[in-house]
Amino acid sequence: MQVGAPHWRRILGREVSMASVAVRRGIRVFASYGLATLATYVLAAVAATQWMLASLTEGSGGAAAPSALLATLQDLWGLLPSFGPIVALAMGIGLLVASGLTWFAPALRGVGLVAAGTVAMIGVQVALHQLPGFIPGARAGGAGATLAQGIAGGVGGYIYYLLRRT
């Protein structure tokens, strides 16, 4: 390794430019965000479907397991074009703000990212309740459904934290 060359760094016995390190870091950030958002979407869509099924079958003993599974799988695919981008935008804003705020307090990064995911998804749920006729499956339920959406966001924030810290 050359002495006095700040743009080179030794990684795993090889000299690597700082630009290459920055590209790898960027790919890692976006991959972490993508996996966290995907997990959040899946959990949120499943929660919305289950709340909708529970409200539709209230008093009748519930939906049969095969039909509940089929409805869940259909909703995972069916909500993707409308609910997926909303989740991606909310999680992107929430995780970006939390990452920026916790830059100054790294010890609080995990708590901050979990809280950001939770607040982002609760915000989505509250906003969707204000829009009449928009994504009925994603607006299902009351306080319990909102809490379930928040938990889905919190899990997504935690996944992002785990993937970014390693």
pLDDT, one tens digit per residue, over 20-30 is 777 888 899 99
Asked whether 75 and 45 are in contact (CB, 8 A), the reply is yes
Spatial CB neighbours of 57, under 8 Å, sequence gap ≥ 6: 63
Question: What is the pTM for the complete model shown?
Answer: 0.80
Q: What is the pLDDT of residues 38-96, one digit of tens each?
A: 999 999 999 888 887 777 766 666 666 677 788 888 888 988 898 899 999 999 999 99
Measured CA to CA, the distance from residue 83 to residue 68 in angstroms comes to 20
Give, for 16, the enclosing helix (H) or strand (E): strand 14-17
